[in-house]
C-alpha cells in the first residue's frame, strides 16, 4: 500500500533559508501536488499519486515516505551478489519493491555497482503505460 510523503520542515532548504530557490521536489512532480512557499512544502492529497519521486529528488530528506527507504536497499547490498528492484504499479516481485523505478538514482546505481551487486530493474517495460512514467 502506497503512502503519501511526509514533510519535515526542519530538513527543508526552502524553510530553513527563506531565500532559497530549491524546488527539486516540485520540478519532479508531474501531478503538481506540491505547493512551495517560505513555510516549506504543502502536499495536495487529491493530486498526489504516491510515486515518491519527490522524496527521491530531495537532497535534504525533507520529504519521507514509509514505502520508500533507499537507505535500507543500500544496507542490504553487501549481503547480495544480485538484487532485483521492482516497481509497485507493475505488480512484479523483487527483493525490493519501490513506488516507482524513478526512485533509483545514479548514486544508488554507482554504490551497488561498486559493491559488485548485479542489479535487475523489474517493470521497466511498464513505464510507457504507467501513470508515473514520463
The pLDDT of residue 122 is above 50? yes
CA dist 33 and 31 (Å) reads 5
Say which residue, 71 or 129, is predicted with more confidence.
129
The pLDDT of residue 134 is above 60? no
Cell numbers for 97: 519493491
Phi, psi of 60 (to 5 degrees): -110, 5
The predicted pLDDT at position 1 comes to: 45
Q: Which residue from 69, 46, 72, 61 is spatially nearest to 8, judged by alpha carbons?
A: 61
pLDDT band at 34 (very low <50, low <70, confident <90, very high): very high
Phi, psi of 96 (to 5 degrees): -140, 135
72, 78, 80, 82: CA torsion to nearest 10: 90
pLDDT tens, 58-103?
889 899 887 666 777 777 766 778 889 898 888 899 888 888 888 8
pLDDT tens, 2-30?
578 889 989 998 888 877 889 999 999 98
CA dist 7 and 127 (Å) reads 27
Amino acid at each position: 500500500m502506497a503512502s503519501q510523503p511526509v514533510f519535515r520542515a526542519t530538513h527543508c532548504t526552502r524553510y530553513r533559508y527563506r531565500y532559497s530557490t530549491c524546488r527539486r521536489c516540485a520540478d519532479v512532480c508531474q501531478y503538481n501536488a506540491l505547493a512551495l512557499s517560505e513555510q516549506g512544502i504543502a502536499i495536495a492529497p487529491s493530486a498526489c499519486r504516491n510515486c515518491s519521486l519527490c522524496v527521491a529528488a530531495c537532497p535534504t530528506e525533507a520529504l519521507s515516505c514509509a514505502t520508500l527507504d533507499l537507505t535500507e536497499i543500500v544496507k542490504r547490498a553487501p549481503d547480495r551478489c544480485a538484487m532485483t528492484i521492482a516497481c509497485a504499479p507493475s505488480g512484479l516481485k523483487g527483493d525490493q519493491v519501490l513506488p516507482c523505478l524513478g526512485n533509483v538514482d545514479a548514486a544508488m546505481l554507482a554504490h551497488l555497482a561498486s559493491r559488485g551487486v548485479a542489479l535487475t530493474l523489474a517493470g521497466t517495460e511498464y513505464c510507457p503505460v504507467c501513470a508515473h512514467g514520463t
